[in-house]
Amino acid sequence: MELAHIPFDQLNVSPLNMRHARKAPDISDILPSIRAKGVQQPLLVRKNGSGYEIVAGRRRFFSLKTIAKEGAQVEPVPCAVMAEGDDAAALEASLIENVARLDPDDMARYETFARLVKEGRSVEDIANTFGVTEIMVKRALALGNLLPDIREAYRNEEIDDQTIRQLTLASEAQQAEWWALFSDPEQRAPRGWQLKQWLFGGEIKSDVALFSLENYTGEIVTDLFGEGGLFADTEQFWALQNAAIAEKREALIKAGWDDVIVLDAGDMFHTWDHVKTPKKEGGRIYVEVRTNGEVIFHEGFITRKEHDKRSRKLAAGDEADDAEQTARPELTAAAQNYVELHRHAAVRHALLGQPQLALRLTVAHMIGGSALWRTQAEPQKADKEATAESLAKSKAQAAFEAERTEILKLLGMAEHGHSVVRSNGDDYRVGTLLVTLLKLSDDEVMRILTFVMAETLQAGTCVIEQIGNHLNVDMGAVWEPDDAFFDLVRDKSAINAMLKHVGGKAVADGNVSATAKVQKKIIRDFLTGEGREKKTGWLPKFMAFPFAAYTKGGAGKLTENARTANQITG
């Protein structure tokens, strides 16, 4: 910062100063000192047009205004001049100074935090800047969920803290209804714990239904005036409401939205964790399902992390397709790893019976090379311990390891618990192996070559897809869904699509807002026949050959590998 003495008439309070809109401050404690000695601590200012705006130092400025009104001459004021254009830094400076002197009220803190978010600061950034927890920042930002009239009443201390905390959880419609009661002198608006019961008491009003009331066969309870009503059969309500949500979701995806994410019932959509993004730039819709049955569609958002990642790419000159940048794979990296390794195990097991294909693959590797052609065995590195355990139990893996034992015997090599390939650049070893191979029949050499090719076949590549499709590898013969698989698949849209795949549309739609855990339990029930019609031989789309994903987001690298394999094959 630059230190300078600035004429008093060139100074004004910045709108970014956190106390800008409040009444004139109490300066009785500092006015005598400034009258006698002037301003000792520089004001924090920044250039604004022909003058300067005060970011921090509002009380010192008002003290000088009082002295000027008394007729005294005000000398140029000592100031620290900030760089131009950094609104976020100015907001932070103002809040830091005021917090150090006096904790601001909740509304002042919310307004400043909200402007910082608008300037691109994340919740984590704000928490680190001011030395508070992220929960404290989120609580302050939650005031942004309130209607302006309610915020103003809270600022004026007409609403207590406990009541305002409950109102931040209310939908806009619930807030409007509560405000109407609060504003009516003949009505009594619920407060505190009574407000919580009023908001989440379990009653579901008929006007929140997305479906036609003609489809509801239960009783709707109305008051004596017949205005509105409550669903008596909440179980039937939720079945119909979830089906309507699913139908609406399908319609929105057909209308061109990249993704429509249905949140778990009761989970809130936090605007500060998301950035408004148009549909054409990859924005998606988040569906908030309230416990009172109300459904809110938040259109055109991506997560703040996705937005920041996009901004960094654009700043680096990477003009990748927006939709590609915001597409969200249905499988996490760990889940993709699980699928890749099982598909790899199945393919190389199938390869053992195809020596002519193995020979051609060997030649291709010799010519084109690969990440493994040094030579070394595929390490089959698992991201999760559960994945490693699952792979160890694979029928394909067991058959492959049994063949490895036989190959070691053919080569006269001791079993050492890992690969046949032991490339270390030692020509003595290569010469010794050559002597052994010269004594073996063509069939035996081809058997070894085939195994070595399978052992050095790289996992997670388009080649796995090509071979699996060419050989029509039957994953169902060597793999079945296990706990590790279900634990790693977490995308709700994909899980709901899997439920539709195994149990049908009615079951999937009827559970669209159920948690991922509940929906996976229903899938398991179909596979075991526990309370459901047992489904035998079922495979998730992304485990079968050819590969397929359930959602538009695809499955990351797995989808790209399948697409590449198809392009190559034609």
DSSP states along 349-413: HHHTT-HHHHHHHHHHHHHH--TTTTT-------SSHHHHHHHHT-HHHHHHHHHHHHHHHHHTP
Pairwise CA distance, residues 547 & 556, whole Å: 12
Residue-wise pLDDT tens digits, 311-365: 887 877 765 554 444 566 888 888 999 999 999 999 999 999 988 678 777 656 6
Residue-wise pLDDT tens digits, 393-408: 999 999 999 998 998 8
Residue-wise pLDDT tens digits, 190-244: 887 777 777 766 678 888 899 999 999 988 876 545 556 888 888 899 999 999 9
Position 430 scores a pLDDT of 65
| 315 DSSP 8-state letter | H
Q: Is the distance from CB of 140 to CB of 110 less than 8 angstroms?
A: yes
Q: How far apart are the first and last CA of the chain?
A: 63
Region 130-155: what's the mean pLDDT? 80
Position 268 scores a pLDDT of 85
The sign of the torsion formed by the CA atoms of 314, 317, 319, 325 equals negative
Token pair recorded at residue 523:
């899938």
Residue-wise pLDDT tens digits, 356-394: 678 777 656 635 556 776 777 899 999 999 999 999 999
| Closest by Cα among 41, 39, 101 to 67 | 39
Q: Is the distance from CB of 12 to CB of 51 less than 8 angstroms?
A: yes
Cα-based distances in Å from 309 to 282, 379, 559 = 13, 31, 21
Average pLDDT, the chain: 83
Residue-wise pLDDT tens digits, 458-498: 999 999 999 999 999 999 999 999 999 999 999 999 999 99
Token pair recorded at residue 461:
């590549």
| Closest by Cα among 394, 364, 328, 551 to 461 | 364
- Residues 6 or more apart from 375 whose CB is under 8 A from it? 421, 423, 452, 456
Stronger pLDDT, 14 or 529, i.e. the higher one: 529
| Closest by Cα among 266, 273, 236, 232 to 126 | 273
- SS3 category, 12: strand
Specify which of 125-134, 326-335, 427-436 reaches the highest per-range mean pLDDT: 326-335
Q: Is the distance from CB of 205 to CB of 228 less than 8 angstroms?
A: yes
Residue-wise pLDDT tens digits, 163-183: 888 888 788 888 898 999 899
Q: Is it true that the peptide bond before 25 is cis, omega within 30 degrees of 0?
A: no
Angle at the Cα of 227 from the Cα atoms of 223 and 231, rounded to 5 degrees: 65
Residue-wise pLDDT tens digits, 519-569: 999 999 999 999 999 999 999 999 999 999 999 889 999 999 999 999 998
Distance of alpha carbon 248 from its chain centroid, rounded? 22
Position 338 scores a pLDDT of 94
- SS3 category, 160: coil
Say yes or no to pLDDT of 1 above 70.
no
Position 84 scores a pLDDT of 67
Position 95 scores a pLDDT of 52
Residue-wise pLDDT tens digits, 46-102: 888 778 888 888 888 999 989 999 888 888 888 878 776 655 565 555 555 554 443
Position 101 scores a pLDDT of 46
What pTM was computed for the model? 0.58
| 526 DSSP 8-state letter | H
- SS3 category, 220: strand
Position 323 scores a pLDDT of 44
Position 177 scores a pLDDT of 86
Stronger pLDDT, 371 or 455, i.e. the higher one: 455
Pairwise CA distance, residues 556 & 563, whole Å: 11
Q: Is the distance from CB of 200 to CB of 166 less than 8 angstroms?
A: no
| Closest by Cα among 173, 194, 197 to 288 | 173
Say yes or no to pLDDT of 512 above 60.
yes
